[in-house]
A and B are shown apart, each in its own frame.
Chain A
Amino acid sequence: MSHDTRMRGIVLIGLVGLFVAVYLLLYHLGFYGAMLCGVGSCETVQASKYARFLGQPVPLWGTLWYAGVLVLAFLGLGPAAGKRWLDVLLALAVAGGLLFSAYLTGVELFILHAVCMWCVISAVLTVAIFVLAEPWRLLRGSPPPATG
């Protein structure tokens, strides 16, 4: 898969993820109406103490992360394509995103025992972005070619 194709894939998936994160953020802020616990698991997850990280709602971090990855991928399609600093930044971002997503999934499965569909979707998107970014190429010392 060419570099441009992978960057375009990250942009598209990141955009979908951005909408998911914005939706969860608006839900967290009560934009979608009453803050109620029903029988669903999303309420349990969203209202738990784990729905905040460093004092801020997790969906806010998700929104910032997706927006950041989007910007990096766009830069990767432009004149910054193939630049070492961009590859390093993107690798760090996707690795951090994957770790944080794994932590959140672990909290859902083993602490809250409640799985929110939107969180699962976001986790899958994060894995897809990680795979497309191919950060392991940096470890091999072979940055991906700028064009393909």
Chain B
Amino acid sequence: MANGKSKGGKGFYFLIGAVVVVGGLLLMNARKGANEAPDLAPIALAGGDATADVSAGAVLGADDAAIVIWEFSDFLCPHCRTFNAMSGKLLRQNYSNTGSLKWISFDFPLRPESWAPAIAAQCAKRQGKYYEMKDLLLARVDSWGRDRSPNGKFVGYARDLGLDAGTFESCVDGQETVAQVQATKAFGESLGIDGTPSIFVNGERFTIPGRDYGYGALEEQIKTAAAGDE
């Protein structure tokens, strides 16, 4: 009896060891795969062939800023919402009027339902309030995110922002800015983007860390560039 139990115990501890080894290897392997550089197409910087495509984005900040950030995002992407709240919005607020940062947002709808808010944001852009609408749409996604026809709520948001509601309504209902969204998405696709938010700093892909969604690292780059300009 004791012998049989001892044998069973050995097999049990062998199994424990096997699970620990296999589990540890899988965890390390997942880490290794994550560190591999994404397979992206070569990037043409502003001033090169991609200038026309870059112009499809919504621009904030000085034209000659040392740091140019491209943000590709989807309005229904939870990480985009978090990135905007923890990093993007704060960086724009703190640095877009300092001359050091130029931020260009590109709508990159991943799902069919993400087109309506992107079109709405582009309609707000026509009235000069793209970023105000972007922040509002992301902040209120819990309210409109499950609506089959969210345009009515978007018109309400336009009113809240002081836009011409009638013009905005005809813009979203007529999907007048769908071509702009197609252009921003096409630009992202030409860069090989397959997920959002995707960030590029001066044309270089930036990997967004989980802790602060990149605020610290991006701020450091902006400050360093600003110090170099002085």
Contacts and interface: CB of A to CB of B under 8 A. Distances in A.
Interface of A: 4, 8, 11-12, 15-16, 18-19, 22-23, 26, 28-39, 43-44, 47-48
B27 A34 contact: no
A16 B23 contact: yes
Interface of B: 5, 8, 12, 15-16, 19-20, 23-24, 26-27, 30-31, 34-35, 74, 77-83, 110-111, 194-198, 207-211, 213
A133 to B, nearest CB: 17
A48 B141 CA distance: 12
A33 B81 CA distance: 18
B78 A31 contact: no
Contact of B77 (A29, A32, A33, A37): A37
5 contacts: A15-B20, A26-B31, A32-B31, A36-B79, A47-B82
> SS class of chain A's interface: helix, strand, loop or mixed?
helix
B195 A30 contact: no
B30 A32 contact: yes
Contacts of A26: 27, 31
Given A22-B27, A29-B211, 15 more contacts: A16-B19, A19-B19, A26-B27, A29-B210, A31-B31, A33-B207, A35-B79, A35-B210, A36-B196, A36-B197, A36-B208, A37-B195, A39-B111, A47-B82, A48-B78
A79 to B, nearest CB: 15
B16 A11 contact: yes
A34 B24 CA distance: 21
B12 A8 contact: yes
B23 A15 contact: yes
Interface SS of B by simple majority: helix
Contacts of B210: 28-31, 35
B31 to A, nearest CB: 6
Contact of A30 (B12, B35, B197, B211): B211
B207 A34 contact: yes
A4 B5 CA distance: 10
A47 B19 contact: no
A19 B27 contact: yes
B208 to A, nearest CB: 5
A37 B194 CA distance: 9
Nearest to B111: A39
B74 A19 contact: no
A44 B76 CA distance: 9
Contacts of B31: 26, 31-32
B56 to A, nearest CB: 21
A11 B11 CA distance: 13
A37 B110 contact: yes
A22 B5 CA distance: 32
A114 B19 CA distance: 29
Contact of A38 (B20, B27, B110, B213): B110
Contacts of A29: 210-211
A30 B208 CA distance: 8
Contacts of B79: 35-37, 43, 47
A69 to B, nearest CB: 14
Contact of B19 (A15, A22, A44): A15
Contacts of B8: 4, 8
A44 B19 CA distance: 29
A74 B77 CA distance: 42
Contact of B78 (A12, A34, A39, A47): A47
